[in-house]
Amino acid sequence: MTRRGLSELKVGGLTLRGVAKGGVETSLMVPELKLLFDVGQVHPGAQSYDRILVSHGHADHLGGLHYLISQRHLQDRRPPEVYVPVEIEAPLHTIFGAWREIEGFDLTVDLRPVRPGDDFEVGKGLRARALRTTHRVPSLAYCVDRITHKLKTEFQGRSREEIVAAKEAGRELTSPARSPQICVSGDTQIEFLKGHPELLDVRVLVHEVTSWDERRSVEQTRHWGHTHVEEMIPVSEGFTGEALVLVHRSMRHSVEEARAVVAARFPASVRDRVHVFA
């Protein structure tokens, strides 16, 4: 835990800072990418983020949005870009309309509706892809890629003079390349990961595991649109990235209990790369 009650994990060249407790609150800051994933509450530092990626409309993932935007308004700062599933855009405008009436000032909100498959810029050299997840309400995962431009194969090994000549002739010397940095699942059943096996290669994969033992069965967990550890264990064996971060742990389970399950039951090939977010 970091100061002020926030957890922090440094993996794959990224920092995950915040809270991710099942049914209580999810809000994860990634300072290297200047992105905030969900905003269940507003913690120190969250107001500095100009882009928020919202997975779905449940209050433990979205309840802090009005307060964050209101505080930025009082500080004369522009509202953040808030990317939300398209299905909740209209209800959110209604909610913010009510808050304008309650607070007595014109609160500006910058909602950006997102559909599954959308691909959009979230910073210099960064793009996010939205993927449909399997939850009780419309929900999205966000995968963030870093975009670089690499010299095309046809120009590799050429002399400087040849490359300069090609550029002066108006030829395109480079082509964009995408490097997956992080994917954050939000709340979802395991079918999301099974349906997108390519995500097992992402550098940092943040996926929910809500239930960690028989106190909540697989069937009960699935009924509420979540993932049980019994479902994650076999899927994790295919993970080739640097860090598989398991979040949204139910408060029925301590972090020590969850980490003991990882140490005892996850495949040895991935065990050292599996992290339980405190």
Whichever domain contains 269, its CATH number is: 3.60.15.10
9, amino acid identity:
L
Q: At residue 211, does pLDDT exceed 60? A: yes
Query: Per the structure, how many domains does the chain have?
Result: 1
Question: Tens of pLDDT along 43-52?
Answer: 999 999 999 9
Supply the pLDDT for residue 88: 98
Q: Give the β-pairing of 110-114 and 243-247.
A: unpaired
Q: Can you give the residue range of the structural domain that contains 120?
A: 3-276
Q: At residue 173, does pLDDT exceed 80? A: no
Q: Is the pTM for the entire model greater than 0.85?
A: yes
Supply the pLDDT for residue 160: 82
Q: Where on the phi/psi map is residue 92: left (φ > 0), alpha (ψ -120 to 50), or beta?
A: alpha
Q: What integer is the mean pLDDT of 97-115?
A: 94
Supply the pLDDT for residue 4: 66
Of residues 171 and 108, more confidently modeled: 108
Q: At residue 3, does pLDDT exceed 60? A: no
